[in-house]
Structure 1
Amino acid sequence: MTVDTAPAPTTAPAGPTPVRRRGSLRPGRLGVHAFLMAVSLAFLAPLLLAVYASLRPYEETSEQGYFSLPDTLSFDYYRQAFTDSGLTKYFVNTMLIAVPGVLLALFLASFVAFALARLRVPGSVVLLMLFTAGNLLPQQVIVTPLYVLFNRVPLPYWMSDSMTMFDSYWAVVLVQIGFQIGFCVFVLSNFMRTLPQEILEAAIVDGAGVWTQYWRITLPLCRPALAALGTLQFTWMYNDFLWALVFISDGEKLPVTSALNNLRGQFFTDYNLLAAGSVIVALPTLIVFLLLQRHFIAGLTLGSTKG
């Protein structure tokens, strides 16, 4: 006996699925792009004007104005600014302040952040609030107490020519660390809380101590956040002008931001020359940002798509 089986019903082919074009720009998106371009130009305008002025002779800009079309463009002011102000020596002074300051601030802040975020420390929330509240204190308030204190703190001769902390790089480095560590602790502790707790639990089962949990497990996972903080901290410490001016009296020890004063004359100031010096001084921060740009953006955007 044969059994006739009806053929299975076939599904009619669906029509073409509409594909949404990613490149299509709607009016709202165009407005956002226009706004972002306007804001970017507003921030870049002073830098672009400084570069434009540094390439023109002062006599030309004084007669025609800074917004006129150029007749002569040259890099003579950059050569003059680099030689007249002795920028090489001041660059070294700045590195002696910024590099140890950034490294020590990140190391100490990561230590504290690990204890607050990954260990069961009593009152961790209160301690985090205290570290964060330290950033709200105006720096100028404690200039006089620190000036008196550093004049009374002795240091050996090989650490300071004045035999005190005053007029030494240590004074500026300690102040920079003290004011920046609160922000670093706040950022790193919040980042460490997003790390999976199972990683540390597995390490504890394998017999890892606290130092191993911090140095070999948690710290490598915080590399993007450390890179982002390192970029910001280097920029802030590099551009600082107040603390070095207050705590360093020897002109040979001043950082590069103070070297621009050497380009100012007693009776006349060539602002085009000063603009060239400002552009040279700003180059290291731009180079650091370009080198760490990928890590910097990754550190800022981590956690933005979670939840």
Structure 2
Amino acid sequence: MRVPSRAGGPAPSVRSSGPPRPPRRGRFGVHLFLSAVSLVFLAPLLLAVLASLRPYEETAERGYFSFPEKLSFDHYREAYTASGMGEHFTNTLIVAVPAVLVTLFLAAFTAFAVARLDLRGGVALLVFLTAGNLLPPQVLVTPLYVLFLHVDLPWWMSDSMSLYDSYWAVILVNIGFQVGFCVFVLANFMRTLPKEVLEAAIVDGAGVWTRFWRITLPLCRPALAALATLEFTWIYNDFLWALIFISDPGKLPVTSSLNNLRGQFFTDHNLLAAGSVLVALPTILVFLLLQRHFVAGLTLGSGKG
């Protein structure tokens, strides 16, 4: 269809809008493959949720891969009360929240210095921090254990009067092992930011702190949200460091509460499944709250040529 132009000359042709084209056949195979992979990954979780809702007698008689006859939340109430999960949840938050905040704060400072201040030796520092992540953490268990035993703390910081058997030990270890990875991610992210923004800020008289806090850091919100989700999940699920550096059972994290559901001669696996689902709920909630920023941080730059 042609539309006459005002000058009398021929106007460019305009295609009439027709019915939408059907999706390509190749996409059906892609969606089918992705659905199958998702089902494989979700199968253990779905099986655990189903087992947690069924009585143990039913699964013992008919098996876990049978159609349920009775579903209830009795196992969840029993798992929460019998394991002391509420106290252990508090212990985990005492460790995870400060560790995540301090890790991101220190990593953002270091990444800004490496990526934006032309720091001498910045590349070597970035390589050093990245290489530290390749060191197996189990290698440092014995040196850190001996060190923490000899580091004294005042009574208001630790009732054990030392770094050992305190929340500070687990917090410091998690910060030390996670900063390198966060610096690596944030430094590479900051290098993708336009230099013209910081150059204009320098012309306007902005100092280093202003350039970092008011300009660079807000632009790094997707990367920070993605890292916050990952770091909280890793620190929340950690069990090794707390088991080594904390001897008081009342200070152990929530992952240790699952051991309280294991009997000496008999273990109700349905009850254990309910406890595992309860332990996993906070990480799922954090991901749902930060999902938009998390996906934006992972896909940033994917559409650039």
Measured against the shorter chain, the TM-score band is over 0.9
Deviation string 1:86-131 (CA, Å, 9 cap, x unpaired) is 1111100000000000000000000000000000111211111111
Aligned residues: 299
In structure 2, list runs of 5 or more residues that go unmatched. Answer: 1-6
Deviation at 1:8? 6.5
Deviation at 1:25? 3.3
Q: Structure 1 residues 19 and 266 mapped into 2: Cα distance closer, same or farther (>3 Å)?
A: same
Give 1:45-64 correspondences, 5 Å limit: 45-64=43-62
Deviation at 1:43? 1.1
1:153 aligns with 2:127: no
Q: Structure 1 residues 9 and 55 mapped into 2: Cα distance closer, same or farther (>3 Å)?
A: closer
Residue number in structure 2 paired with 1:183: 181
Deviation at 1:13? 6.1
Residue number in structure 1 paired with 2:41: 43
Runs of 4+ in 1 over 2 A off after TM superposition: 7-21
Q: Decide which structure has the larger Cα Rg and report it.
A: 1
In structure 1, list runs of 5 or more residues that go unmatched. Answer: 1-6
**DSSP-derived class of the 1:45 partner:** helix
Residue number in structure 2 paired with 1:25: 24
Residue number in structure 2 paired with 1:213: 211
TM-score using structure 2 length: 0.94
Q: Structure 1 residues 78 and 18 mapped into 2: Cα distance closer, same or farther (>3 Å)?
A: same
**DSSP-derived class of the 1:136 partner:** coil
Deviation at 1:132? 0.9
State the percentage of identical aligned residues: 72
Deviation string 1:137-182 (CA, Å, 9 cap, x unpaired) is 1111111111111111111111111111110111111111111111
Match of 2:303 among 291, 302, 305: 305
Deviation at 1:266? 1.0
Give 1:1-307 correspondences, 5 Å limit: 21=21, 23-26=22-25, 28-307=26-305
Residue number in structure 1 paired with 2:3: none
User: Using the alignment, how far apart are the partners of 2:10 and 2:170 within structure 1?
Assistant: 80
User: Using the alignment, how far apart are the partners of 1:101 and 1:222 within structure 2?
Assistant: 19
User: Using the alignment, how far apart are the partners of 2:168 and 2:201 within structure 1?
Assistant: 38
User: Using the alignment, how far apart are the partners of 2:79 and 2:276 within structure 1?
Assistant: 9
Counterpart AA for 2:111: A
